[in-house]
Amino acid sequence: MKILIAEDNLMSRNVLKAMLANSGHEVVAAVNGAEAWEIMQRPDAPRVAILDWMMPIMDGIEVCRRIRSLKTDRPPYIIILTTMAEKEDIVTGLEAGADDYLIKPCDIRELRARISVGRRASEMQDIVAGKMGELRDALDRIKKLQGNPPICSRCQKIMADRG
């Protein structure tokens, strides 16, 4: 699985990269929030993003908010990995759209387990997206068979939002 690590600290970034690569993941690294945001806008963006909160140019919370603003039927699983340990910080991270929140230093086994959760969530999203495509195809076939009757405005909006 392709995973983004957005971490400005070289040592932390290298430890995470090595651990994830040794676990068989393809790792993409960013040294600041702006670089992470650019990577996550690509068509081949990683399915899991591990974001540090405190980064130059753009912090991880802002990156998380921006990622969540993207229209996609396959949103990434986002983990905030930070030293920010207060309950209010955790709430802020989760309200920004993070799926998970870990406090540094974290146990490598716990991080691996949480990445596994992200992988499972991504696989389920792939299944749902595939089913949505099948439903769109079936609806198109039905419309052709029925002579293209008008679609209600609510259905049109749902279909447009889903891409």
Residue 157 main-chain phi, psi, to 5 deg: -65, -45
Looking at residue 156, what is its pLDDT? 72
Q: In the chain, which ranges are continuous DSSP H helix?
A: 10-22, 33-40, 60-69, 87-95, 108-146, 153-162
pLDDT above 70 for 151:
no
Report d(CA 63, CA 51) in Å as an integer: 8
pLDDT band at residue 154 using 50, 70 and 90 as cut-offs: confident
What pLDDT, on a 0 to 100 scale, did the predictor assign at position 122? 93
Mean pLDDT across the chain: 91
What's the pLDDT at 148? 60
Q: Could you give the CA distance from residue 1 to residue 24 in angstroms, rounded to a whole number?
A: 8
Give per-residue pLDDT as tens, 54-86: 999 999 999 999 999 998 888 999 999 999 999
pLDDT, position 150 = 60
Find tokens 């029925």 and name the residue. 146
Provide the token pair at 111.
């991080």
Which whole-number Å values give the CA distances from 64 to 3, 87, 136, in the listed order?
15, 18, 30
Token digits of residue 114: 């949480």
Residue-wise pLDDT for 16-40, tens only, equals 999 999 999 999 999 999 999 999 9
Q: Give residue limits of the domains in the chain.
A: 2-126, 133-162
Please state, in angstroms and rounded to a whole number, the distance separating the CA atoms of residues 124 and 77: 12
Question: What pTM does this model have?
Answer: 0.82
Note the pLDDT tens digit of each residue in 81-112: 999 999 999 999 999 999 999 999 989 999 99
**Dist CA 2 CA 43 (whole Å):** 13
Tell me the CATH class for 2-126.
alpha beta
Using CA atoms, how far apart are residues 128 and 147, in angstroms rounded to an integer?
28
3 close to 50: Cβ distance less than 8 angstroms: yes
**Structure confidence at residue 75 (pLDDT):** 93
Percent above pLDDT 90 for the chain: 75
pLDDT of 162 reads 73
